Structure 1
């Protein structure tokens, strides 16, 4: 019976173009083509490179790096933790064993240089930006 259904489906006309009009990807692609400035996006999925062994031959990345250099994207996005996320991980280290130590830089040198912690620095930045806006 499945062979019969497959043959029947193969003889049916293609789906109407109207169905494509409701597909979000098609809508965005169409709008970009009309504007004349479609964006190129690369989504590269890898394991965390920090999990590689110390003797991993990084020359294995050369083909990828060469293709990125040839492509010359305007920007490359990476997955990363920001300061507040790292502060949270440190505050709840009992629940997130070694996560902050693995993925976050040590904030001590920055705190020493600034003479304030991250929350104080955030408030100071807000104050400076609001002064510039007036």
Structure 2
């Protein structure tokens, strides 16, 4: 009965839970200020939101990615990024890490996966990616749990 679920708008969440909202926004800003490429973080946020089936976050981050000029081919093929052949090695490493941190499946990250990530990212960038992934996972759970409706495109 998902259609009958009581919903809260994003704006209502922002108003009624200002401290929580602002804390999540601050985490995102810390990544932006840390120097990680915004187009890369938007791809990561989109992929995690796809995995978590968060329509609100998918549409929000599609809108942002398009404003940034992220290639529409990449946006269209993101769900199949491993086979797409259009993503850079750095993007692939970030997307792999996003999947690892989103779908734990009771396993730890292997040494090979850590090495794969380190081939494209410095230590401080790995931390920024982890913050990005953790934050979007939190947003996905809030937006799905409160049934935020997707923003206009």
After TM superposition, the score normalised by the length of structure 1 is 0.25
The structure carrying a bigger helix percent of its residues is 2
After TM superposition, the score normalised by the length of structure 2 is 0.23
